[in-house]
Amino acid sequence: MPRYATLITADDGQEIVSGIGEFETSSRPRAGWVEEVAPGVRIGMVRGGPVDAVGGFGFPRRDLGPSAVRDATAKLKAMAAPAPCEEPAKPARARPRKKPARKARKTKAAKAPSDMAAP
């Protein structure tokens, strides 16, 4: 049975496989951008992708290219290094309380039970 893939076009212009199906008929299975693909093509592959390429489709490379690594390294080297501190940083003190301390509650004397009345 021939395998057909539904393709969508991403914002950057890449054609991405969004669905795959096997159909017995030779006609197009449904309207839209559909084309016959080789066995092994999976959802998420892009046309011309370099990773695990099968039948003209493969997964996109997700790592940084050499030019991006060079740019990031140059940017980090261009940043000024912080000056070393001569004294170690002191830990921050707790702030004094702005409200006055709460007063202690007075305890009330226990009442005598009313059931034990004198005769």
| Contacts (Cβ under 8 Å, ≥6 apart) of 78 | none
Q: Where are the domains of the chain?
A: 3-59
Report the phi/psi class of residue 66: left, alpha or beta, with left for phi > 0 and alpha for psi in -120 to 50.
alpha
pLDDT at 1: 75
> Above 70 in pLDDT, residue 83?
no
- 23-71: pLDDT as tens digits: 776 565 555 578 888 888 888 888 888 787 888 888 887 766 667 777 8
Provide the β-strand partners of residue 22: 3
What percent of the chain is predicted at pLDDT more than 70? 73
pTM, whole model, 2 decimals?
A: 0.45
